Amino acid sequence: MSIPTTPRPRRLPAVVLAAGLLILAACQPIGQQEASTAQSGDTGGTQRLSIATGGTGGVYFPLGGGLADLISENIEGYSATAEETNASVDNMNLIGSGESDIAFVLGDTASDAVAGTGQFEGGAIDACAIGILYTNFTQLVASADSGITSVADLEGKRVSVGEAGSGTEVIALRVLEAAGIDPDTGIERAQLGVAETVGALGDGTLDAGFWSGGLPTGALVEYASSGDMVIVPTAEYAADLQEIGAYYLESEIPANTYEGQDEAVAVIGVPNVLVVNTSMDEGLQEQLTALLFEHKDDLVAVHPAANELDQETAGDVEFMDVCPGAQAFYGS
């Protein structure tokens, strides 16, 4: 049995308020916009870049808005807009179709996409990495009243595995399977974004929900303030998942990341990458890469997850090719 899922969200303007600055990334719904200008070219002056992000309650969305603003202000001849999406799987498909030029993607999803495996079986995506951005933490949250303190406790419970077409869904299904729980029959399965998950936990229609995101995640900050949020450890399954790929890491959510979280929680981490289609101009690839590090402080002002940006290691991507233009920057 499953409980209702939310429909695929509309792409909305990316509006970010951080450190007293309003970063506005205007956008149009994907599918109604013009052809991807970074790949097809544009003879009408300024070329527009579309950035595929995620839901409004996560980290991709605000960082995408910040990046769009920086591109528009600092790369001559280009403007950018950030689009709300279902995140990683959705984003790789948008890169493949040319509907988006730049995308935030989880490493495991990106690896599957370029290899044509998993949800991309038989349909490999032509994409390369600008670089590693920061770590996504597998944040399995439950209500205190649910009594859930381990993944095994999810058996028979009402659980969201993330939105369809999201990186959260990919890792949630793999964690459940590693724990011996069938995602289709072992839980009452829902597929909600992080904001919807928090709402369902709050009104008692959900017992637990997976979210893969940076720290802290805004929607979870709000939920933690209610005093009802429990973070369930997942790191015990990291070794099982590493048989799939080395991008699954044993990580830790530091104590006091969220209100009422007095101790660190051991979880599975996955690196995030910024990806583009391989057809993007190499000079633009290099400019995008430089922008991340030359304006790192601006991105940190949008969200603290950007603190993890590290020029020395960002190009060390083992699971997909690094874009030639990005390689030129890292080698300079």
Do both 266 and 194 map to the same domain? yes
Is residue 324 a part of any domain in this protein? yes
Sort strands 208-213 and 158-160 into parallel, antiparallel or unpaired. parallel
pLDDT in tens, 273-288: 999 999 999 999 999 9
Give the domain range for residue 92.
Answer: 14-133+274-330
pTM of full prediction above 0.85: no
Q: What is the mean pLDDT of residues 266-274?
A: 97
Do both 206 and 218 map to the same domain? yes
Per-residue model confidence (pLDDT) at position 12:
39
Do both 229 and 160 map to the same domain? yes
Per-residue model confidence (pLDDT) at position 246:
86
Smallest Cα–Cα separation from 103: which of 82, 121, 72?
82
Per-residue model confidence (pLDDT) at position 2:
43
Do both 148 and 100 map to the same domain? no
Percent of the chain with pLDDT over 70: 87
Per-residue model confidence (pLDDT) at position 35:
42
pLDDT of residue 147 exceeding 70, the answer is: yes
Q: Show which of 270, 290, 305 is a domain's final residue.
A: 270
Is residue 63 a part of any domain in this protein? yes
CATH, residue 265: 3.40.190.10
pLDDT in tens, 280-331: 999 999 999 999 999 999 999 999 999 999 999 999 999 999 999 999 999 9
Q: 293 — phi, psi (to 5°)?
A: -95, -35
How long is the chain? 332
Is residue 5 a part of any domain in this protein? no
Distances (CA, A) of 141 to 187, 223, 312: 15, 10, 33
Is residue 161 a part of any domain in this protein? yes
pLDDT of residue 229 exceeding 70, the answer is: yes
Per-residue model confidence (pLDDT) at position 44:
57
Range with the poorest average pLDDT among 10-24, 100-114, 150-164, 296-310 = 10-24
Q: What is the mean pLDDT of residues 212-225?
A: 93
Q: What residue ranges in 56-126 does DSSP mark as E strands? A: 78-83, 102-106
Per-residue model confidence (pLDDT) at position 38:
58
Burial 109-121, CB ≥16 within 10 A → b, else e: bbbbbbeeebbbe
In whole angstroms, give the CA distance from residue 314 to residue 289.
10
Do both 219 and 161 map to the same domain? yes
pLDDT of residue 34 exceeding 50, the answer is: no
pLDDT of residue 183 exceeding 80, the answer is: yes
Distances (CA, A) of 321 to 32, 173, 316, 330: 30, 26, 10, 14
Q: Show which of 270, 287, 312 is a domain's final residue.
A: 270
Average pLDDT, the chain: 89
Do both 279 and 265 map to the same domain? no
Do both 176 and 151 map to the same domain? yes
Is residue 48 a part of any domain in this protein? yes
Question: Which is more confident, 242 or 27?
Answer: 242
Q: What is the DSSP letter of 187?
A: S
Q: Tell me if residue 252 falls in helix, strand or coil.
A: strand
Sorted by sequence, the CB contacts under 8 Å of residue 59 that are 6+ apart come out as 213, 214, 217, 218, 303, 305
Is residue 2 a part of any domain in this protein? no
pLDDT of residue 27 exceeding 50, the answer is: no
**Beta pairing partners, 25:** 14
Question: Which is more confident, 299 or 32?
Answer: 299
Per-residue model confidence (pLDDT) at position 194:
93
pLDDT of residue 244 exceeding 80, the answer is: yes
Is residue 9 a part of any domain in this protein? no
Q: Tell me if residue 163 falls in helix, strand or coil.
A: coil
In whole angstroms, give the CA distance from residue 330 to residue 332.
6
pLDDT in tens, 76-89: 999 999 999 999 99
Do both 162 and 260 map to the same domain? yes
Do both 190 and 212 map to the same domain? yes
Q: What is the mean pLDDT of residues 86-99?
A: 95
Q: Show which of 222, 239, 270 is a domain's final residue.
A: 270
Per-residue model confidence (pLDDT) at position 28:
40
Is residue 76 a part of any domain in this protein? yes
How deeply is 222 buried, as exposed, middle or buried, from its count of CB atoms within 10 A (0-12, 13-18, 19+)? middle
3-class SS letters over 213-247: ECCCCHHHHHHHCCCCEEEECCHHHHHHHHCCCCC
pLDDT of residue 143 exceeding 50, the answer is: yes
Q: What is the mean pLDDT of residues 258-280?
A: 97
